[in-house]
Amino acid sequence: MYKRKAFPLLGALAFSAITMASPMRRAPDTAAHSVENRYPGHPITLVVTFPPGGGTDQLARRLAARLEQSLGQPVVVENKTGASGNIGALAVARAKPDGYTLLVVNSSYAINPGVYRNLGFSPQKDLSGVINVAFVPSVLVTKADSHWKSLRDVLDAGRAQPASAQPAYASCGNGTPQHLAGEMLMRRADATLLHVPYRGCGPALAGVLAGNVGLGIVTASSALPHLQAGALRALAVTSPQRSSLLPDVPTVAEQGLAGYELDQWHGLLAPAGTPKDIVERINSAVASIMQSPDMKLGLQALGYDTTASTAAEFQDMIDEDIARFGKLTREMGLKVD
């Protein structure tokens, strides 16, 4: 399992399956590449698979602004949404492998192969990792005046009978990392929680705040304003270590479920076949940006813990999560045609 590295400075399942065959990979330019002289020579596009204004989009736009300064070319953010990120991923998988079209994704990218029967592309053959840039944990929350005081309270109730007494939790949607975090929690604890999917973390939080559902598993970044305002209480974070955003909130693993972790990662991918020297140039530029104090602090305010990785480390993490989440979604019977 890929591990976090510390630096000193540091969606919806309603989708009509894309049936086109896995895209033909264009052969990369075989001429000798001089990164310093040839790349980049014109604007770069970062394709974001989620709508404007969300956490992944905000991260991408901050990164794009800094990449413009570092690489000396405009970096444009383009939102291609739908099918839990599959539409944007397909577009980049079909793009020329020259470093000018990159994909910004989160952990949903590794969940989708286990959920969708036909993606229209191969996540492990048509795209390859460039760099992992940030983590954001999910957090189990309840209203501040709720009778739930700890994760143990929730899990004890989840083992109780009758089933009508078992608690319900809101997630950011079917097949999201937050949905899987709840499933992993139930399986590790041998408890039952009723899953209530919403169309995004914002609506899930609204459901908890309105008292429509007692618990929520959402991104820490989306919950933070409500936690700071005293409207919500955090019971546990899903990351392997405590989050710098919520240092007083214990992890699930700390509360009796050793080995539990589901940390939502974010990173950049490129079409397979992108020349190695170009991938290394992008990786080096982005790693430097993510280690800068101002970027780290700015993203911390949004709920992210910044990091960096080699391209190979990120690809290993993607491959491991595709296998891990695939096993879980098969056990859940979670599948879309």
CATH of the domain at 161: 3.40.190.10
Is residue 337 included in any domain, yes or no?
Answer: no
Residue 266, amino acid? H
Of the listed ranges 32-41, 187-196, 259-268, 273-282, the least confidently predicted one is 32-41
How large is the average pLDDT for residues 234-254?
94
Among the listed residues 131, 123, 52, 134, the one whose alpha carbon sits nearest the alpha carbon of residue 89: 123
CA-to-CA distance for 246 and 162, rounded, in angstroms?
A: 34
Res. 17: pLDDT tops 70: no
Output 221 or 24, whichever has higher pLDDT: 221
* pLDDT tens-digit readout, 166-210: 899 999 988 999 999 999 999 999 999 999 999 889 999 999 999
Residue located via tokens 């007494």:
165
Which of 255, 280, 305 is at the close of a domain?
255
Whole-number Å distance between alpha carbons of 119 and 104: 17
pLDDT of res. 248: 95
- 46 and 144 assigned to the same domain: no
Q: Do residue 297 and residue 251 come from a single domain?
A: no
Q: What is the pLDDT of residue 6?
A: 39
**Domain boundary at 255, 290, 314, which?**
255
| 98 and 160 part of one domain | no
Residues 169 and 104 occupy one common structural domain: no
CA distance 182 to 165: 17
pLDDT of residue 199: 85
- Considering the domain architecture, whether residues 156 and 294 belong to the same structural domain is answered as no
DSSP single-letter state for residue 32: P
pTM over 0.75: yes
Q: Which residues, 6 or more positions from 26, have their beta carbon under 8 angstroms from its beta carbon?
A: 96, 97, 273
Domain that holds residue 144: 137-255
Confidence at 12, pLDDT banded by 50, 70, 90: very low
Across the chain, the runs of DSSP E, i.e. the strands, are 44-48, 75-79, 101-106, 127-143, 168-171, 194-197, 215-219, 232-237, 263-271, 305-306
Taken in order 239, 295, 54, 144, is the CA torsion positive or negative? positive
Q: Measured between alpha carbons, how far is 143 from 130 in angstroms, rounded to an integer?
A: 39
pLDDT of residue 24: 46
pLDDT tier at 23 (50, 70, 90 boundaries)? very low
Residue 80 pLDDT level (bands cut at 50, 70, 90): very high
Statement: residue 273 has pLDDT above 80:
yes
d(CA 276, CA 310): 12
What pLDDT is attached to residue 4?
52
- Is the bond preceding residue 293 a cis peptide, omega within 30 degrees? no
CATH number for the domain that contains residue 277: 3.40.190.150
Nearest C-alpha neighbor of 223 from the set 242, 204, 240: 204
Identify the band that residue 337 occupies on the pLDDT scale cut at 50, 70 and 90.
low
pLDDT at 37: 58
- Does residue 189 lie in a domain region? yes
Tell me what the mean pLDDT of segment 223-236 comes to.
96
Question: How do strand 168-171 and strand 194-197 relate by DSSP bridges?
Answer: parallel
Q: Do 270 and 45 meet the contact criterion of CB atoms below 8 Å apart?
A: no
**In-domain check, residue 18:** no
Residue 16 is assigned to a structural domain of this protein: no
231 within a domain of the structure (yes/no): yes
Q: How many CB atoms lie within 10 A of CB 269?
A: 26
How far apart (Å, rounded) are the C-alpha atoms in residues 113 and 175? 11
Q: 38 or 285: which carries more pLDDT confidence? A: 285
76 lies in some domain? yes
Residue 64, both tokens: 């794009």
Looking at the fold, whether 193 and 250 belong to one and the same domain comes out as yes
| pLDDT recorded at residue 10 | 34
- pLDDT for position 53: 84
Q: Which residue has the higher pLDDT, 195 or 22?
A: 195
Higher pLDDT, 92 or 336: 92
pLDDT at residue 256, as a whole number: 94
What's the confidence (pLDDT) of residue 5?
A: 45
- Residue 161: the pLDDT is 75
- Report the C-alpha gap between 325 and 327 in whole angstroms: 5
Same domain, 192 and 170: yes
> Could you say which of 212, 230, 255 is where a domain stops?
255
Domain count of the fold of the chain? 2
